Structure formats: structure tokens, C-alpha cells
């Protein structure tokens, strides 16, 4: 049997890590081990600089002329083109706009308008709530003409049939981190004549996704997690090129018009991804995202995935050695079936996470009993994971006699 890794092993891995050079691009607080990059990624120096430049040099200097002089109008397309290689898409298949929730609505409504005689959307029960709520809202808007089926994972494939016009699934589960087989499920949906929309919120920047090889129809995702775009940074949406001009988002708005500055009364959609724009983009948030995306140019996603698996394997192996902890693994044990975070359950999960945060180990809590720890290879070291589990052991030992803690609004 191989001996468990030691702290010296971790230092050795850090010394040989091809991504170690990227850590300096982040503004990290000494004394903090940040394990919540699946919720809000860390700040890059680049993001801070780009945001400052947009405010002071562009807005502050050139005012409204900046839309042309600094290319503000095309920024949603330029940032989409930067995200495209991370998800196996072409540069003109991805747009940055709005939030993930709004983009979900735009694409699900577009699919609903071209559904023919089909009337069902299939999604997963226990999916991230917004994915289900947006679809339920769409069904209500359409007066019950469509139906949303939220099926458990084990029944997903069998529920996709000739009545299904759209399948909406999250590639990496927000709680358990369990991965779905994007290629196989996409093929299955297509074989049943349905379109598929993937939520890549926990995938983009965590591992390579190949929407093109799978011929997936649509995708959406957050940029404030593994892409480090900043709190509330704009989301992205992907539409396969051959579909782009055949559908229209249910949210038709002026920036998606073929000639927005003609100010015509009648809506005429722009060609390509431009029709998926809605209103004026939140440019300052776009600047923060632009800065964060700048660091991806020379990063190999295979290195990212390899390190993410190694970090989370180290974490799980050390947690398993904390005997009698009351912790149980809620993520798949095999690294190939997991995304880049690890979920554990604990009866006093909220108190546990609060105590960890007080000791500088930041993860998060998801009701009723899940604590999540994310392993972000761009700024996390193996020694950080080592230290985090040491502190976790100490916190658990003290937890039995600690008081119950009142929950904050954001957990």
C-alpha cells in the first residue's frame, strides 16, 4: 500500500507544477486558503487594472465616444470569442451578455417558438434552481402549452422522447460536482429529435468542454466562478452556428436588432450571435471579465484538469483519514466523474463552515447539510490543501462543544 502523501510531497508537487506561475496573477490575501472559486473566483491583477482603465481612461476621458473609440459595442462578441476555445466553440458562436438565468430564458424561449408539435422540456430534478424556475416561468408564460419534466438523474434518458423539444442540463452538478456525459446525452437527445441546452457554469475554466464535437445546440454559463470575472460578471451563451439565424430569443431587444441605431419600430433580428444581445451591456463588469480572461491565453486546460483532480484527490484522501469526523463524501469518489469541487455532508455543516472561515479556510455551505470545497488550479497550491485539512481536523474536534450559529443570508 502506498503511504499517504506528506506535507513534503505537497511542496514537491508545487515545485513541479506547470501552473505555479499563474498564481502571481491573482491578488490573494495572506493567511486565507480560498476554496470557494466555484462560487466566486479570486481577483486577478489584470481585472483590477482593466476595470480602472475602463473607468478612468475610457469613460472618464472619452465619455460616450468610447462606444466607438474603445470598441465598447463589440465587447460582448470579443469576450465571447475568448471564451469559445475553453468550451470547444468557434469564435462566432459565443456571446457574453446578461446573466445565466436571462440567457437560459432567451434560449429556452427561442427553442419553444420553433418546437413544432412537441411540448416537453426535460431537465433534472435537483438541478440548480434557476434552471428549473426559468423553464417553469416559461411554461406559465405560454399558458401551459408546454410542460417541464424534472426527472431524477437515473430516469433522464428514458424521459427524453418524441414529445421533447428541449433538454436542459447542468454539466457539473452545483452541489455534488457529479459530471454528466455531455457527448452521450447530446447524441441521445438528438436521436430523439430534441435540442439540448447545457449549463456550463461549473465547467468553463475547470475542464475542457467540447460543444463542437458533441454538436450541442445551446449552452450558457457563469463567468464569475472558474473564469474569475468578478461578482455578478456577465454570463455567456453559445448557439451552434447553423442554428443561429433559424431561431430568435423570446427576449427581443434593441441591441439585438439588425440596425439598432436606426431606431425602427419593428423588430428585425441581427444575423448571427448579435440577435442574442438584449439591452446595454454592463460595461464596467465587462472590463473586469476582460481582464480575467486575459490570463487564459497560455494556459493548457489539460494541465488545469490534471491539477484539479490531484488537488481534490489529496483533499479527499486526507479527509478520509480524519476518523470519526461525521463527514461523508457527497461527490463521486472517482475523479473522472467529478468536476472541480468536492461536496461533503455534515450534520452541523453550517457551523462547520463558519468555524473554518473564521480560521481562514473559505468554502461554502448549501442547505441542508452540504459543505463545498473548490479546487481552483490557477491559484491553489498542494500545501494549501494540506493546511486546509489540518485546520478542518482541528475545527471538527472543537465543533462538538461549539454554539449553534445564526445563518447569514448568503451561505
**Residue 245, C-beta contacts closer than 8 angstroms, at least 6 positions apart:** 271, 272, 275
Residue 54 DSSP symbol: I
Looking at the Cβ atoms of 93 and 131, the one nearer to ligand PLP is 131
Answer yes or no whether residue 376 interacts with ligand PLP by CB under 6 A: no
Q: Give the cell for residue 201.
A: 457554469
Q: Which position among 78, 99, 147, 255 is part of the footprint of ligand PLP (CB under 6 A)?
A: 99
Helical axes 382-399 vs 7-15, angle rounded to 10°: 150
* Residues in binding contact with ligand PLP, number by CB under 6 A: 13
Q: Which position among 174, 198, 238, 315 is part of the footprint of ligand PLP (CB under 6 A)?
A: 174
Q: Which position among 46, 51, 100, 203 is part of the footprint of ligand PLP (CB under 6 A)?
A: 100
Spatial contact of 295 and 46, defined as CB atoms under 8 Å apart: yes
Answer yes or no whether residue 170 interacts with ligand PLP by CB under 6 A: yes
Query: CB of 174: closest distance to ligand PLP in angstroms?
Result: 4
Answer yes or no whether residue 47 interacts with ligand PLP by CB under 6 A: no
Q: How far apart are CA 384 and CA 40, in angstroms?
A: 18
Spatial contact of 369 and 346, defined as CB atoms under 8 Å apart: yes
Looking at the Cβ atoms of 180 and 295, the one nearer to ligand PLP is 180
Q: How far apart are CA 287 and CA 294, in angstroms?
A: 11
Answer yes or no whether residue 238 interacts with ligand PLP by CB under 6 A: no
Answer yes or no whether residue 105 interacts with ligand PLP by CB under 6 A: no
Answer yes or no whether residue 186 interacts with ligand PLP by CB under 6 A: no
Spatial contact of 157 and 188, defined as CB atoms under 8 Å apart: yes
Looking at the Cβ atoms of 66 and 312, the one nearer to ligand PLP is 312
Residues marked active site are found at 128, 199, 224-225, 372
Query: CB of 54: closest distance to ligand PLP in angstroms?
Result: 21
Spatial contact of 174 and 333, defined as CB atoms under 8 Å apart: no
Could you give the C-alpha distances from 121 to 102, 169, 217, 281, 324, in angstroms and in order?
17, 10, 14, 29, 44
Burial (Cβ within 10 Å: 0-12, 13-18, ≥19) of residue 411: middle
Looking at the Cβ atoms of 256 and 339, the one nearer to ligand PLP is 339
Answer yes or no whether residue 223 interacts with ligand PLP by CB under 6 A: no
Q: Which position among 101, 109, 176, 244 is part of the footprint of ligand PLP (CB under 6 A)?
A: 101
**Residue 151, C-beta contacts closer than 8 angstroms, at least 6 positions apart:** 122, 123, 124, 125, 159
Measured in whole angstroms, how far is the alpha carbon of residue 334 from the centre of its chain?
21
- Using the contact rule CB under 6 A, the part of the chain among 123-131, 147-155, 238-246, 310-318 near ligand PLP is 123-131
Looking at the Cβ atoms of 4 and 231, the one nearer to ligand PLP is 231
Could you give the C-alpha distances from 187 to 21, 183, 198, in angstroms and in order?
39, 6, 13
Residues 188-207 that bind ligand PLP (CB under 6 A): 199, 201-202
Spatial contact of 35 and 388, defined as CB atoms under 8 Å apart: yes
Q: How far apart are CA 178 and CA 366, in angstroms?
A: 15
Query: CB of 145: closest distance to ligand PLP in angstroms?
Result: 25
Q: Which position among 235, 283, 289, 371 is part of the footprint of ligand PLP (CB under 6 A)?
A: 235
SS3 state of residue 26: strand
- Using the contact rule CB under 6 A, the part of the chain among 14-22, 46-54, 94-102, 151-159 near ligand PLP is 94-102
Query: CB of 38: closest distance to ligand PLP in angstroms?
Result: 8
Query: CB of 233: closest distance to ligand PLP in angstroms?
Result: 9
Spatial contact of 166 and 196, defined as CB atoms under 8 Å apart: yes
Q: Is 185 left (phi over 0), alpha (psi -120 to 50) or beta?
A: alpha
Q: Which position among 26, 128, 238, 365 is part of the footprint of ligand PLP (CB under 6 A)?
A: 128
Q: Which position among 109, 130, 203, 312 is part of the footprint of ligand PLP (CB under 6 A)?
A: 130
Looking at the Cβ atoms of 89 and 197, the one nearer to ligand PLP is 197
Query: CB of 133: closest distance to ligand PLP in angstroms?
Result: 10
Q: What does DSSP say about strands 370-374 and 341-345: parallel, antiparallel, or unpaired?
A: antiparallel
Looking at the Cβ atoms of 136 and 192, the one nearer to ligand PLP is 136
- Using the contact rule CB under 6 A, the part of the chain among 70-78, 127-135, 148-156, 395-403 near ligand PLP is 127-135
Binding site for ligand PLP (CB under 6 A): 99-101, 128, 130-131, 170, 174, 199, 201-202, 222, 235
Amino acid at each position: 500500500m502506498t503511504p499517504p502523501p506528506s506535507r513534503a510531497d505537497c511542496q514537491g508537487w508545487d515545485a513541479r507544477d506547470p501552473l505555479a506561475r499563474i498564481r502571481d496573477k491573482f491578488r490573494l490575501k495572506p493567511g486565507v486558503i480560498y476554496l470557494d472559486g466555484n462560487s466566486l473566483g479570486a481577483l486577478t491583477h489584470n481585472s483590477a487594472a482593466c476595470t480602472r482603465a475602463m473607468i478612468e481612461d475610457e469613460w472618464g476621458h472619452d465619455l460616450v465616444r468610447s462606444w466607438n473609440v474603445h470598441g465598447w459595442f463589440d465587447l460582448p462578441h470579443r469576450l465571447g470569442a475568448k471564451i469559445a476555445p475553453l468550451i470547444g466553440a468557434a469564435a462566432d458562436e459565443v456571446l457574453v451578455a446578461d446573466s445565466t438565468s436571462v440567457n437560459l430564458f432567451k434560449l429556452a424561449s427561442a427553442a419553444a417558438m420553433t418546437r413544432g408539435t412537441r411540448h416537453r422540456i426535460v431537465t433534472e430534478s435537483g438541478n440548480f434552481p434557476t434552471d428549473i424556475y426559468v423553464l417553469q416561468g416559461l411554461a406559465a408564460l405560454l399558458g401551459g402549452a408546454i410542460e417541464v419534466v424534472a426527472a431524477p438523474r437515473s430516469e433522464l434518458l428514458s424521459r427524453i422522447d418524441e414529445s421533447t423539444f428541449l433538454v436542459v442540463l447542468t454539466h457539473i452538478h452545483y452541489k455534488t460536482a457529479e459530471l454528466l456525459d455531455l457527448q452521450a446525452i447530446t447524441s441521445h437527445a438528438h436521436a430523439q429529435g430534441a435540442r439540448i441546452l447545457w449549463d456550463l457554469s461549473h465547467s468553463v475554466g475547470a475542464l475542457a468542454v467540447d460543444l463542437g464535437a458533441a454538436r450541442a445546440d445551446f449552452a450558457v454559463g457563469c463567468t464569475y466562478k472558474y473564469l474569475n470575472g468578478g461578482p455578478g460578471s456577465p454570463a455567456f451563451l453559445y448557439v451552434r452556428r447553423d442554428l443561429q439565424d433559424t431561431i430568435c430569443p423570446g427576449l427581443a431587444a434593441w441591441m439585438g436588432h439588425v440596425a439598432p441605431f436606426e431606431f425602427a419600430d419593428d423588430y428585425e433580428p441581427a444575423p448571427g450571435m448579435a440577435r442574442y444581445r438584449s439591452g446595454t451591456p454592463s460595461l464596467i463588469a465587462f472590463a473586469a471579465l476582460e481582464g480575467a480572461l486575459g490570463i487564459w491565453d497560455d494556459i493548457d486546460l489539460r494541465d488545469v484538469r490534471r491539477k484539479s483532480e490531484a488537488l481534490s484527490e489529496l483533499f479527499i484522501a486526507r479527509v478520509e483519514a480524519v476518523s470519526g469526523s461525521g463527514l461523508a463524501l457527497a461527490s463521486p469518489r472517482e475523479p473522472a466523474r467529478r468536476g472541480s469541487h468536492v461536496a461533503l455532508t455534515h450534520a452541523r455543516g453550517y457551523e462547520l463552515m463558519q468555524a473554518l472561515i473564521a480560521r481562514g479556510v473559505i468554502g461554502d455551505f448549501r442547505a441542508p447539510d452540504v459543505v463545498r470545497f473548490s479546487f481552483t488550479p490557477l491559484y491553489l497550491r498542494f500545501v494549501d490543501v494540506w493546511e486546509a485539512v489540518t485546520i478542518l481536523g482541528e475545527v471538527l474536534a472543537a465543533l462538538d462543544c461549539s454554539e449553534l450559529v445564526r445563518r447569514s443570508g448568503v451561505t
